[in-house]
Amino acid sequence: MSLLIGVTTYGRNEDGKFELPGEYIDAVRRAGGVPVLLPPGDTQHDALFKQLDGLVLTGGGDIAPGEYGSPGHDTVYLVDPERDASELYLARKVVESQLPTFAICRGMQVINVAHGGTLHEHIPTEFGDRIAHRAPPRRPTPHEITVKPASRLRDITRESTFVCQSWHHQAIDTLAPSFTVVAEAADGVIEAVESDLNPWLICVQWHPELTAAEDPIQQRLFDAVVAYAKEKKSGV
Ligand code: MN
């Protein structure tokens, strides 16, 4: 069974190119899915959406603060209205349609904002610098994750604590209704959430694609969304 997994790309760069780190593609392929790149700006999302068996909402720059009612913060960077519009639309659709979806970093923030949540715009302002969630100037850095028992994330990762690669500027503040926090960092930053409405939606704040080639815990997350896609498509 071919399982088409949409993977959102970054917005246009300075040269007008849509880009995406290859690690996302590699991880979906290792899981047995067929990745289909989805650049922002499509006007026929519904038609495309019907063809997908699963979706990965990828990492990237900050969401425009106005999308969650904030006047903004001077550290907000790489705002891309075209990408925000496409991904916020997809984020609403995946819950109502119960599409198997893996939302990573910015992807988790997009899911939260699309469903009425808000973001901390600059983590050190709220949480201090006890734990680095990215390294200067903008690089990944490792920190530990604690997963709540009795969560789908715990079933998927099979671990209650592990080290991830963290690479985020912002974090969930107000959680969207009908979502549940299922993992945190030691400073209390929300690191993963689940939806009461779509049991096939996995949302994490860290970057599993960066280490999935070597770390089975991280690859299991990609394996899970492709397994969900198969389960849904075969109607089990
Ligand atoms: Mn983090």
pLDDT tens digits for 141-175? 999 999 999 999 999 999 999 999 999 989 999 99
Spell out the residues 6+ positions from residue 118 whose beta carbon is closer than 8 angstroms to its own. 68, 69, 70, 112, 172, 173, 174
Write down the catalytic residue from 105, 164, 191, 203: 105
- Coil vs helix vs strand at 108: helix
CATH tag for 4-234 (out of 3.40.50.880, 3.30.465.10, 1.10.3370.10, 3.60.10.10): 3.40.50.880
CA 134 – CA 127 distance, rounded (Å): 13
Confidence of residue 202 (pLDDT cuts 50, 70, 90): very high
**pLDDT value of position 137:** 83
Angle 231-51-20 (CA atoms, 0-180°, nearest 5)? 95
Domain residue limits, the chain: 4-234
This prediction's pTM: 0.96
CA of 178 to the centre of ligand 1 (A): 22
Task: Indicate the average pLDDT of the chain.
Answer: 95
CA 133 – CA 165 distance, rounded (Å): 9
CA of 189 to the centre of ligand 1 (A): 7
Residue 76 is which amino acid? V
Residue 207 a catalytic site member: yes
